[in-house]
């Protein structure tokens, strides 16, 4: 927790309507507009002088300035502390729709049980995981003071589909053409932007976690809603593996392909018919894990 930053936000003194004058720099543009517009001047004239009261508060015996703690900031700080934070457009931002990562990682026993349930090799499951999450792993962490958040890829063509092109003016997040993914560091910025427009469609338009399963597949992954899917997968790697097993079992093509190690059929079903080399990557990753 960044204590100095929270404290700074709580303390109101300078450049506020409680402790300011028309000479304060940050208010100069406001007064310029007010004084130049007769209508605005009539509506707002004297507002700041009436609301300013801090300079009337008796000083301490030491003659030091009186500071005021803003009560309305307390609920906001408590609320934001409830959610994991990640950088979004350069600002550490609480993400309200995910759970804190509990640190549970997939171990050998988990892989063995999953392989037994699917009737495939452990190496086959690991090959898919390695191909899907690449060098980033199951979670993103960008800074020292941010939290672990599930690895995602936002797919603008899915958001276009789920919102019927309603937000296509925002081409970076809604577009009939797939692509334009951008760097790992901007995926949550895209998701948050889309989430502000349509919550459910935004969540469904991102692929999540170690196996990069789209939240639109929430039902076959064992969940009742995209929200439940995202919340569970953000909590642990183990939940991500459980979702993967459920998702594969629900699809006969995927189940048969992972059992027979038919990587082309698997990739075309898992990543789409236009998949570009995922089958070859899976084959290489499978051979490397033997």
268 found inside a domain: yes
222 found inside a domain: yes
Q: Count CA atoms closer than 13 A to 261's CA, side-chain side.
A: 17
Cα 266 to Cα 217: distance, rounded to the nearest angstrom: 16
- Looking at residue 136, its pLDDT comes to 84
262 found inside a domain: yes
Percentage of the chain surpassing pLDDT 70?
Answer: 72
Whether residues 225 and 130 fall in one domain: yes
83 found inside a domain: no
Whether residues 65 and 191 fall in one domain: no
Whether residues 144 and 25 fall in one domain: no
Domain boundary among 78, 99, 133: 78
Whether residues 57 and 120 fall in one domain: no
Q: How many CB atoms are located within 10 Å of the residue 29 CB?
A: 9
Q: Quick one: CA dihedral 247, 251, 252, 258, positive or negative?
A: negative
Each residue's pLDDT tens digit, 1-40: 555 555 555 554 444 445 555 555 555 555 565 566 666 6
94 found inside a domain: no
138 found inside a domain: yes
**CA angle, 204 then 246 then 277, to 5°:** 70
132 found inside a domain: yes
Which residue range forms the structural domain that includes residue 60?
3-78
Domains identified in the chain, total number: 2
Cα 103 to Cα 106: distance, rounded to the nearest angstrom: 10
Each residue's pLDDT tens digit, 273-282: 999 999 999 9
Domain boundary among 28, 60, 78: 78
Whether residues 145 and 284 fall in one domain: yes
Whether residues 54 and 194 fall in one domain: no
Cα 208 to Cα 216: distance, rounded to the nearest angstrom: 10
Judged by DSSP in three states, 13 sits in coil
Q: What is the mean pLDDT of residues 104-120?
A: 98
Rounded to two decimals, what is the model's pTM? 0.74
Specify the residue for token string 């018919």: 273
Q: How many CB atoms are located within 10 Å of the residue 227 CB?
A: 16
Whether residues 164 and 38 fall in one domain: no
Q: How many CB atoms are located within 10 Å of the residue 287 CB?
A: 10
22 found inside a domain: yes
Whether residues 142 and 24 fall in one domain: no
Each residue's pLDDT tens digit, 131-180: 999 888 999 999 999 999 999 999 999 999 999 999 999 999 999 999 99
Burial of 83 per CB tally in 10 Å (0-12, 13-18, 19+): middle
**12: which strand partners?**
68
pLDDT band at 62 (very low <50, low <70, confident <90, very high): low
Whether residues 74 and 207 fall in one domain: no
């Amino acid at each position: 927790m960044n204590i100095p930053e929270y404290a700074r936000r709580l303390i109101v003194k300078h450049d506020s309507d409680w402790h300011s004058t028309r000479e304060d720099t940050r208010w100069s543009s406001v007064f310029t507009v007010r004084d130049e517009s007769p209508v605005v001047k009539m509506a707002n004239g004297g507002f700041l002088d009436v609301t300013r009261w801090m300079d009337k508060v008796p000083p301490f015996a030491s003659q030091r300035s009186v500071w005021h703690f803003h009560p309305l900031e307390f609920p906001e700080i408590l609320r934001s502390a409830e959610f994991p934070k990640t950088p979004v457009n350069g600002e550490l931002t609480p993400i309200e729709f995910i759970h804190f990562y509990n640190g549970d990682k997939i171990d050998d026993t988990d892989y063995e049980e999953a392989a037994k349930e699917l009737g495939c090799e452990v190496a086959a499951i690991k090959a898919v995981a390695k191909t899907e999450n690449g060098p980033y792993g199951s979670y993103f962490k960008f800074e020292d003071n941010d939290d672990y958040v599930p690895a995602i890829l936002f797919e603008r063509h899915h958001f276009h589909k789920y919102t019927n092109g309603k937000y296509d003016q925002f081409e970076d997040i809604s577009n009939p053409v797939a692509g334009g993914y951008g760097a790992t560091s901007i995926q949550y910025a895209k998701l948050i932007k889309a989430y502000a427009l349509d919550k459910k469609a935004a969540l469904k338009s991102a692929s999540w976690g170690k196996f990069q399963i789209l939240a639109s597949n929430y039902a076959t992954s064992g969940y009742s809603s995209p929200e439940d899917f995202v919340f569970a997968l953000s909590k642990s790697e183990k939940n991500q593996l459980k979702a993967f097993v459920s998702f594969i079992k629900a699809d006969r093509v995927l189940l048969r392909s992972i059992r027979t190690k038919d990587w082309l059929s698997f990739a075309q079903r898992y990543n789409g018919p236009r998949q570009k080399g995922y089958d070859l990557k899976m084959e290489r990753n499978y051979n490397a894990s033997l």
